[in-house]
Amino acid sequence: MSSIEDIKALIDSLSAEEIKKVMTEVKAKKPKQVDTTRKARRIAMTELYFNNAPLPYRTTYEEYKSHAEGIRQQVLSGVDL
C-alpha cells in the first residue's frame, strides 16, 4: 500500500507545468487503421466452404458426407485463399 501513497505524494508534489509535460508524453496514440486480416481470412474460408459445399437434398447422404469432409479439409488447409 505504501507504493500507492508514494505515487499520490509524487503527483501532489508536481506543478501544473510538470503534469502537463508528463501528460503530453504519456498520451497513447490511437490506431488510425484497424487490422482486419484475420477477419478477412475467416470470411474467405467460410465463403470457400459454402461456395463448394454440396446440397444435401440433391445428392445421396454418403456422397454429401464424403464431399463435405473433403471440402472441410481443403478449407482448413487454406487452399485457394
Q: What is the pLDDT of residue 43?
A: 92
Using CA atoms, how far apart are residues 54 and 51, in angstroms rounded to an integer? 9
Place of cell 466452404: 49
Region for residue 79 given its phi and psi (left: phi exceeds 0; alpha: psi -120 to 50; beta: otherwise): beta
What are the grid coordinates assigned to 80, written together?
A: 485457394
Mean pLDDT, the chain cut into blocks of 10 residues (81 residues total): 80 87 76 85 85 75 83 77 53
Using CA atoms, how far apart are residues 66 and 64, in angstroms rounded to an integer? 6
Domain spans in the chain, listed from the N-terminal domain onward: 37-77
Query: Which amino acid type is present at position 78?
Result: G
